[in-house]
Amino acid sequence: MTPTRIVWESEVKEIILSTNSAKIGILPNHAPITTVADIDILQIRLNDQWLKMALMGGCARIGNNKILVLVNDAEKDSDVDPQEAQQTLEIAEADLRKAEGKRQIIEANLALRRAKVRVQTINTIS
């Protein structure tokens, strides 16, 4: 879920979520936790198939056989335009090289992380 839309809502077999300290696997009857959702790929297993989603950071709450992931933005692998994602990555790399001062460097690094995740989402094999 993002501030503007529900990206995915369905029963799943397993979820692999990147937190700020590690990747965690979430299966049925998982212990209740609330954690940070990092800028990374969320993997969702539906029977024998995996869906990948680029997450742009947020938080996740797990409990009672439900998971709620609230993020700044999310994009399913099937919705990522490969050419646009690659162009965004190249722009982010150039912006980081030109960045001056702490604030610009931090913002450029975050933009680069987001761009890399979008490209990785369509380039990784499940």
The predicted pLDDT at position 3 comes to 83
Nearest to 12 by CA among 44, 56, 54: 44
Domain 14-77 in this protein, CATH class: mainly beta
Residue-level pLDDT at 109: 96
Structure-token pair, residue 24: 């965690």
pLDDT, residue 126, reads 52
pLDDT value at residue 125 = 58
Write the CA distances from 106 to 57, 95, 102, integer angstroms: 15, 11, 6
The pLDDT of residue 44: 94
CB 37 within 8 A of CB 59: yes
What is the tens place of the pLDDT at every residue in 20-37? 999 999 999 999 999 999
High-pLDDT (> 90) share of the chain, %: 83
3-state helix, strand, coil in the chain (%, to 5): 35, 35, 30
- Check whether 92 has a pLDDT greater than 60: yes
Helices (H), the chain: 82-98, 101-123
For the ranges 23-27, 72-76, 121-125, the lowest mean pLDDT is seen at 121-125
Question: Stretch 82-102: mean pLDDT, rounded?
Answer: 96
Q: What is the residue extent of each domain of the chain?
A: 14-77, 79-123
User: What is the DSSP pairing of strand 14-18 with strand 74-76?
Assistant: unpaired
